[in-house]
Each structure stands twice: as C-alpha cells, then as structure tokens.
Amino acid sequence: MGHISLIGFMGSGKSSVGKELAKLLPSMELIDLDTYIEAMTGRSIPEIFENEGEAAFRQMERSALEDIFMTGELTGSQYILSLGGGTVTTEACRRMIRRNSTCFYLKASVGTLVRNLETWPGDRPMLKGGKSLRSRVEELMTTRAPIYEKTAHHIINVDSDDYTAAAVDIITMQD
C-alpha cells in the first residue's frame, strides 16, 4: 500500500477522516500538513499568513511535501497525509500528490462546509475579510472544486459527516 492523501475544502473533515484512517491502518503514520509546517517553522499558520503572506505559505507547503515524500522514500514509511484546503492550488503540489500517493477528495456541499465551519471555526486566514462565511466559501469553491476533482484519483462524498464510513470507503478503494 502506498501513501494516502486527503484533499478538500476547509471543514470537509480531512483531519477527522485522517484520524479514523490512522486507527484502521496502524502501520501508517498520520501527518497533518499544517501541523508539520507549524513544527517546521515554529510559528502558527495565522502568524505565517500575517507576517509573510499566502504566497510564502504555499511555498512552505511545497517544501514540506517534498521533505515528506523524500523521507518516505528513504525510510519506507507509509503516510496518511491530511493536506491543507489550498495545498492543491499549487501545481507542483498537485503533481507530487498524484505521483506519490493515492489521492482522495473529501467532497462536501457548500451547505455542509458552512455548517461545519460554523461549528469548528478555528483560525482560518483564508476565511477572514468582510464577506459572509457562505459567500467566501462559495467564492473559493468556484475556483477550487474543479481543482480538487482533477487532482483526486477518487472522490468520497462526506455530506453525511460519517467519517468512519469515509475511512472504510477509502481503504476499500485504495490501490
């Protein structure tokens, strides 16, 4: 079994599905890319956006992925990668993800995303600004939905919020 990557919008359940998968696949190591970058830089994601901006953060996502896939190759470790909602907006990241892992898009409707983001608001720099949460999600999803679809090898619908079932489906579809 190779690496598994989880992609999808903020609030789609990437971290939750990653944790469920890690329980079912104890030989694999779970890596959350945001947490990895925070450890790598010693700063929080909002701090990175605030001080260095989005472009610098996208570059960090790219180098973090390069490190992770390289380490996997050297050590033979198998990873479950819970990526950031915007990681696949960078072409080099899309290429690496498709080439080195089986990629699953956790697909949720705007309604589900808004509801989840209202329940777990977190500190998400990409959702800041004057717009309502729904219109910001709609705006970002207009450009991102086709990118998620074309990057993924498989699409998993998560509108039911059943993350255990999503993890079982992923294992069944993993090649």
Stretch that binds ligand S3P, among 63-71, 104-112, 123-131, 155-163 (CB under 6 A): 123-131
Is the CB of 1 or the CB of 59 nearer to ligand S3P?
Answer: 59
Count of alpha carbons within 13 Å of 61, Cβ hemisphere only? 28
163 binds ligand S3P, rule: CB under 6 A? no
| Residue 18 interacts with ligand S3P (CB under 6 A): yes or no | no
Q: Does 85 bind ligand S3P (CB under 6 A)?
A: yes
86 lines the binding site for ligand S3P (CB under 6 A): yes
**Residue carrying structure tokens 């579809």:** 173
- Whichever of 30 and 126 has its CB closer to ligand S3P, that residue is 126
Is position 125 an interface residue for ligand S3P (rule: CB under 6 A)?
Answer: yes
The count of chain residues that interact with ligand S3P, using the rule CB under 6 A, is 10
Q: Which residues contact 16 (CB under 8 A, 6 or more apart)?
A: 163
